[in-house]
Chain A
Amino acid sequence: MSRLAEFIFRRRGRNGWHWTDIFTWVWLIGGLFIMFGPAVWLVGSSFKSPAALAEFPPSIMPYVTQKATIEGYDKPLDLYEVTMPDGSKKVLAEVRRIGIVSQMVSPEKPTEIVKVKIAERTPVRTMSFATSNYSEPFTHFDFVRYLWNSVFVTVTATLITLIVNSMAAFALSKYEFRGRTFAMLLILATLMVPLSVIMVPLYSIVSALGLFNNLWGVILPTVATPTGVFILRQYMLTIPDELIDAARMDKASEWQIYWRIILPLTAPALAVLAIFSVVWRWNDFLWPLIVLSRKELYTLQVGLSIYSGELNVQWHFILAMTVVTMIPVVLVFIFLQRFITTGIAGTGLK
């Protein structure tokens, strides 16, 4: 590979920096910022207080202006560091601001108002992580509910996906029967029928089955995935047929062959499908949006989008909950990325 790459891009100047080398590193470093930057920014922002979020220009880290409770004032006042006319520095609390002049008091002498030009004061700020962004949605809003719904949908759908599709893949890879080609073509054909094409009639069928506003209405239409059947079938085709013959001679029933021979041997492909399925179901949006109209049934994705679409967006909560929603996928990314990338490279599927 190395020589190949070298050859593509540089032939002379192997010792120096060819323009392609510079381009490569600009592209990579730029990519690093563009790909990771937004997510990092999101995580950083999610720890900021609403006041800090409204600031412009924004600070990189979450800062809070220190406040002090001062005698004679009901609310805590913001503290500022002020450069006094004599050049000394003093910490004062702002009572009110009129134009470019700020009326301030010293915490020691609450009654004496000092007038300061706003250019001569800087807020006293300390770094502070607004963890309430995370804790409050869990106590005051339905996010625990949404989280549970998402977990339920993801886990159940994945389990059913694995069982149903591995059974079908077993039938399609290890049995000769009439209509096998037809069944394969049928499954292949469903690749051409994405959700966006059939959402109207699918909605009516799901309603007719009484699954509207029901998490099963989200789960069931997704579990028979053609990609799942294909991944597993391709893999099962590599399991020698003689193993099945041997098991039959060993008096194993077909069901035993399926779960004691085929399933354990298909474990790597099942793992890939399981990872895919978890990511798919966790991220599903349009279909849950259609099927679920009751708040307590929302999945995280639906809940997030509804909250973020409200007129008065509470960004501090939204950001924090977006981070929560990202967590499982980021964990998958960190620990299982290898499976996914080889899975995609091997099958060309997402």
Chain B
Amino acid sequence: MKADVPKGSGSGLGETAMVPVRLAMAAIDAPLRFVQRRLGIGGMATFFLLPNMLIFGIFVLLPFFINFAYSMTGGTALFLPDRSFVGGDQYARLFDCANYADPNSCAEDTFWTAVGNTAWFVVLQVTLMILFSLVTALILNRDLMARSFWRAVFFFPVLLSPVVVGLIWKWILQRQGLLNFGLYGLGFEPYTWLNDRNWSFAATVGVSIWAHMGFYTLILLAGLQAIPKDLYEAAEMDGTRPARAFWRITLPLLMPNLLVVIVLVLIRAVQIFDEVYVLTGGGPGTSTLYITQYIYETGFATQLRNPGLAAAASILMGGVLVVLTLVQLGLGRKGEKKGARK
């Protein structure tokens, strides 16, 4: 992005609408000139940064740090001073398992179910998401008629709210839904997909891919379009086969984007909640209970809520996310360096 001049921004209507804003801004100016005299020009940087830093501090940093404190306390009380210190008990409880492969042998069996489900979800969803968005990006990168239309087609669900996504698919997958209608036409009996443990799991994977695929397609497409086309022309002159050109030119040059996308998909997949919560509510049973929902329900939604346990679980998840984010930032930096060298 580059700063270019907005053209004709001073239309009559806009101008009138701006009058109160202008007056307000001008009114703020007088006291701020006084502040500026006291702080100096450099000090005004602090002034500009302050509101943001305050909000960050109160709503992000502070919770982040007291989360550790929460994870070491017990009871159902909400406020930290009212809670009893229990040391590492919550963590011990989470890890109290006779056999880690079998969630039922654990003290906190739902946690391990959620972890197991999330692990499976992540593996399946990330693999398929990358595959689908890469194929779509490659196709959109072809010489298509009305390419921006096709790009929009795949991008459309990205903007939908997770609740809407969940409801749309709940409606389609229900007994009288569109899917059964289609299958009925092919001679199948209607089936209640979301009451089936395996199918509902598959549905959460499929729906989350449907909803977010367009986003990653877009990033990959941008990466593909950044590959100079004379490389392909040079390869063509060398008599390179298309498949070889894909493996030896497209894929290596797309790799920085692809890696970033993979990590982004991973980070999001680990935190999956909204659309699944609306679609299946974690069910049937605990077959689509993922880790964020476990934290939410442990911390807020159940009768026997246990904020300390939820905090401990969230810190464990946070650890995973921090590692993934650091990988992403590392990859991003590498990509930047590559870009700079070009």
Contact = CB atoms under 8 A, between A and B. Distances in A.
In the complex, A touching B (Cβ < 8 A): yes
Interface of A: 1-11, 23-24, 27-28, 31-32, 34-39, 41-42, 45, 53-58, 163-165, 167-168, 170-172, 175-177, 180, 183, 186-188, 190-194, 196-209, 220-221, 223-224, 229, 234-235, 238-239, 248, 253-256, 258-259, 264-269, 279, 282-283, 285-286, 290, 301, 304-305, 308-309, 315, 318-319, 322, 325-326, 329-330, 332-333, 337, 340-342, 344-346, 348, 350
Interface stretch (B40-48, B98-106, B120-128, B195-203): B40-48
9 contacts: A4-B229, A42-B168, A45-B171, A183-B53, A201-B311, A221-B55, A322-B167, A326-B161, A344-B219
**Main SS class of interface, B:** helix
A290 B296 contact: yes
Nearest to B235: A7
Interface string B314-328: 110110011001100
B159 A333 contact: yes
Given A171-B46, A322-B167, A326-B160, 19 more contacts: A11-B236, A34-B210, A38-B178, A39-B160, A42-B171, A56-B184, A57-B181, A58-B177, A168-B48, A197-B315, A198-B63, A209-B58, A267-B6, A285-B162, A285-B274, A333-B159, A345-B218, A348-B260, A350-B215
Given A168-B48, A344-B215, A345-B222, A205 B63 contact: yes
Contacts of A193: 60, 63-64, 318
A28 B139 contact: yes
A255 B28 contact: yes
A224 B219 contact: no
Contact of B55 (A164, A258, A286, A341): A164
A201 B73 CA distance: 12
B128 to A, nearest CB: 14
Contact of A55 (B45, B176, B215): B176
B164 interface: yes
5 shortest interchain CB distances as A-B pairs:
A2-B143, A5-B142, A283-B161, A168-B52, A175-B45
A170 B310 contact: no
Nearest to A279: B159
Contacts of A200: 67, 70, 295, 299, 307, 310-311, 314
A285 B95 CA distance: 30
Nearest to B325: A192
B163 interface: yes
Contacts of A3: 143, 229, 232-233
Given A190-B56, A196-B295, A220-B59, A38 B172 contact: yes
Contact of B156 (A35, A167, A209, A286): A35
Contact of B58 (A57, A205, A337): A205
A238 B2 CA distance: 6
B218 A224 contact: no
A28 to B, nearest CB: 6
Contacts of A24: 139, 142, 144
B77 to A, nearest CB: 10
Given A41-B172, A204-B78, A264 B6 contact: yes
Contact of A221 (B9, B59, B233): B59
Contact of B141 (A5, A45, A170, A207): A5
Contact of B36 (A170, A221, A254, A268): A254
A204 B79 contact: yes
Given A8-B245, A254-B41, A305-B277, A1 B215 contact: no
B241 interface: yes
A345 B246 CA distance: 22
A1 B55 contact: no
A186 B46 CA distance: 15
Nearest to B5: A265
A301 B3 contact: no
A280 to B, nearest CB: 10
A27 B143 CA distance: 15
